Amino acid sequence: MPKIANVDMAAGWDGPEGDHWAEHAERYAVASQRHWDRLLAVVPVPHDASALDIGCGTGRSTRDVARLASSGSALGLDLSSSMLKRAREVAAAEGLENVQFEQADVQVHPFEPARYDLAISAFGAMFFADPTAAFSNVMRALRPGGELALLSWRELARNEWLTALRDALAVGRQLPEPPSGLPGPFGLADAGQVSGVLSAAGFADIRFEEVNEPVEFGADAGDAFAFMKTLGMTKGLIEALDADGEERALDALQQTIVQHATGQGVLFDSSAWLIRARAPGR
Residues with Cβ < 8 Å from 148, sequence gap 6 or more?
Answer: 118, 119, 120, 135, 138, 139, 142, 198, 203, 275, 276, 277, 278, 279
Task: Identify which of 33, 26, 83, 38 has the alpha carbon closest to the alpha carbon of residue 56.
Answer: 83
Contact 111, 139 (CB under 8 A): no
pLDDT given for residue 91 in this prediction: 98
Q: Which domains does the chain have, with CATH numbers?
A: 7-155+178-216+269-278 (3.40.50.150)
Amino acid (1-letter code) at residue 41: A
User: What 3-state class would DSSP assign to 124?
Assistant: coil
Q: Is residue 230 helix, strand or coil?
A: coil
Q: What is the pTM of this model?
A: 0.95
Task: Find out whether 181 and 189 touch, Cβ atoms under 8 Å.
Answer: yes
Closest CA to 97 of 121, 69, 124, 122: 69
pLDDT values of the chain reduced to their tens digit, one per residue, 282 residues: 588 888 888 898 999 999 999 999 999 999 999 999 999 999 999 999 999 999 999 999 999 999 999 999 999 999 999 999 999 999 999 999 999 999 999 999 999 999 999 999 999 999 999 999 999 999 999 999 999 999 999 999 999 999 999 999 999 999 988 888 889 999 999 999 999 999 999 999 999 999 999 999 999 999 999 999 999 999 999 999 999 999 999 999 999 999 999 999 999 999 999 999 999 986
Task: Quote the pLDDT of residue 5.
Answer: 84
The secondary element (H helix, E strand) that includes residue 218 is: none
What pLDDT, on the 0 to 100 scale, is given for residue 181? Answer: 85
